[in-house]
Structure 1
């Protein structure tokens, strides 16, 4: 026989069989209480979000935030890419007869004035030729002076009968011929000096030197090609390629923002020319955006541009309202019966304030602002209009 010992005061007694049932009853009571609490929790989760109408539980409608976008005037933006270049690029070569370059006076990136000498060409032979022609002018002028003096003496003697009128006419002709030879010699001298002046390679206008293909000791001539390239006035441009559809909305004077590749800087410009023709292969045209000079704008570089091609009135929605699937972009709208319906839309552009809806909405609809992914078409909701 097993006995349990219990302590009462300082005495010991044997545990009776009836004493074992008491803890069991307590344990069963605790288990029952826990079960009741669990059932109450389950019932709250199942029926807690329902209300009772006519003795029957009815599901409570979920609150859904909606917005009425209306129509806003939004700049129509067109994105494009293209190449940076000088607005007016001027190739500079040999204008004269050429020769050997003796000095190059400029470097790429340097500003020059109109007529400034970029490089000098050896003129030792041409200088001697000019001196010879100057001497011929002096000889001709001396011959003219002698002929004029003889004519003056003959005119003083013709009235006395010492010289005939025919002789006087011959002396006059001699004087005129001498004067003509002076003019010819002077013209030849001026021509030689002009040729010598064209030996130097000069800037045709003020601007920025872009490239240099000339070095001292180089032999150049009229067929040597381009020795320097300049940007007239330092003006730059972006030659952006735009699709045929977008080109129709862009006009000269339209604002543009240009961002060179590899740079986080943006440059403001304006469209100054729109291509009058479309490439039949690519269906694109060129838009030329004028830019002020900046060292970061390097001709030949690649850049992206945002062009403002007019403005339009269209609904503007927050990004959270737009959804998409295999059928395209769509939004959920709440009808007059407070039921959710799907509406397919077309996005025309994305701006800082959200997405511009090109078609599908007229702006008067109640559009689900967010959490559209948890709704289903036909579901009834309680719309709450969002504050602007």
Structure 2
């Protein structure tokens, strides 16, 4: 019994170590298998990342970054023809003002036939002056003409009779010559008397105040019953042909390059209506006190154009070709005017510019841009040079 038991117990003691070593080997194999699977999965993941998954991830990240960039509206202004305009103020006046006064001896005004604002023709009577004395003088001189004509007829008759008798020897040739001279003197006295009548009639006719040319009556400074003469002064003021003008005062720099024929628009004070005109004369001199000159703008007659009134004018003095930007695109600081542009990399860059003509259509850029740049249209105050943005091109306006 003991032997068997001892034998069995001995065998069991030897069997236990064998069983533990087998389990350990199986565990190692499982760990190797798991490690191999993990390595294979890692390799597959790396291959996927390098082949497509990584690119998609990068694209996704780039897309997120791009979505976070601020969107900025930009314009490409190009180059346009921009009118060079000059703003001016001045007074309205008759283009050719004609003062009308007493041309003759004067006297008592009996009638005034026109009113301001009335159109008259050349030679039309504007006012009449009493001519009762002049009428009597004409009658007297006309009578003297008749007397002189009678003397001339008598002298001619005596001369004719003397010619008939000279051949018979009753009258000498000397008497015939004296009677011829008497006839000539009588005829001369007729001519003198006629000239005197014509002169008096001309003087009487000058008592009528007449329009020197066709035009518009602007002012009337005479009334019936008024005594007028050479020292009375102007009785009427007329605008020849009704033509008007604006006398625009301009600085020396604005007069440079301004030529006759330049288009203009004139707006009287208190009116919303603008009238078309053109410069017909540019002052050849500059006022030494104000350093200004006058450009005279011809205008057609209109009831709204009142001489002496104040008006403003916009004169087109030529054209230039330049980029045209809206006001919102321009900024300024202590360095001057500038705009923001977006370069090819989508970054903001400052560009200093020089402003040219300013009009309702926008601001012309005299220097700093060639028109091909992408200019930030607005919101430039929220941007900074070097900032990356997402530009959206809009139509220039």
Q: Which TM class, normalised by the smaller chain length?
A: 0.7 to 0.9
Deviations 1:56-93 (A, max 9, x none): 98994322221111110111111111100000000000
Residue equivalent to 2:324: 316
Comparing 354-363 and 200-209, the one that deviates more: 354-363
* Offset at residue 327 of structure 1 (A): 4.2
3-state SS, counterpart of residue 237 of structure 1: strand
Pick the aligned partner of 2:299 from 273, 282, 291.
291
1:146 lines up with 2:154 in the alignment: yes
3-state SS, counterpart of residue 178 of structure 2: helix
Pick the aligned partner of 1:356 from 338, 354, 364.
364
CA RMSD of aligned residues (A): 2.0
Deviations 1:146-192 (A, max 9, x none): 00000000001101100000000000000000011111110011000
3-state SS, counterpart of residue 303 of structure 1: strand
* Offset at residue 214 of structure 1 (A): 0.5
Pick the aligned partner of 2:188 from 171, 180, 186.
180
Residue equivalent to 2:97: 89
1:79 lines up with 2:87 in the alignment: yes
Higher Cα radius of gyration: 2
Q: Which runs of 5+ in 2 are unaligned?
A: 1-57
Comparing 259-268 and 331-340, the one that deviates more: 331-340
3-state SS, counterpart of residue 347 of structure 1: strand
3-state SS, counterpart of residue 356 of structure 2: strand
3-state SS, counterpart of residue 293 of structure 2: strand
TM-aligned CA distance change 1:251 to 1:58, over 3 Å: closer
Comparing 72-81 and 169-178, the one that deviates more: 72-81
* Offset at residue 51 of structure 1 (A): 8.9
TM-aligned CA distance change 1:315 to 1:57, over 3 Å: closer
Residue equivalent to 1:300: 308
* Offset at residue 319 of structure 1 (A): 2.3
Alignment of 1:13-52 (within 5 A): none
Residue equivalent to 1:64: 72
Pick the aligned partner of 2:354 from 346, 351, 370.
346
Residue equivalent to 2:290: 282
1:257 lines up with 2:265 in the alignment: yes
TM-aligned CA distance change 1:337 to 1:282, over 3 Å: farther
Partner Cα distance (2:386, 2:222) in 1: 78
Comparing 289-298 and 321-330, the one that deviates more: 321-330
Residue-pair matches, total = 338
Higher strand proportion (structure 1 or 2): 1
Residue equivalent to 1:271: 279
3-state SS, counterpart of residue 210 of structure 1: strand
Q: Is residue 96–residue 222 contact of structure 1 (8 Å, CA) maintained in 2?
A: yes
Residue equivalent to 2:135: 127
Partner Cα distance (1:262, 1:108) in 2: 22
* Offset at residue 343 of structure 1 (A): 2.3
Residue equivalent to 1:329: 337
Q: Which runs of 5+ in 1 are unaligned?
A: 1-49
Q: Is residue 51–residue 59 contact of structure 1 (8 Å, CA) maintained in 2?
A: no
Residue equivalent to 2:170: 162
* Offset at residue 374 of structure 1 (A): 1.1
Comparing 56-65 and 253-262, the one that deviates more: 56-65
Partner Cα distance (2:144, 2:335) in 1: 93
* Offset at residue 387 of structure 1 (A): 3.5
Residue equivalent to 2:251: 243
* Offset at residue 255 of structure 1 (A): 1.0
* Offset at residue 353 of structure 1 (A): 2.3
Q: Is residue 51–residue 58 contact of structure 1 (8 Å, CA) maintained in 2?
A: no
Deviations 1:313-366 (A, max 9, x none): 011012221223444432111233432122232332332322222232222222
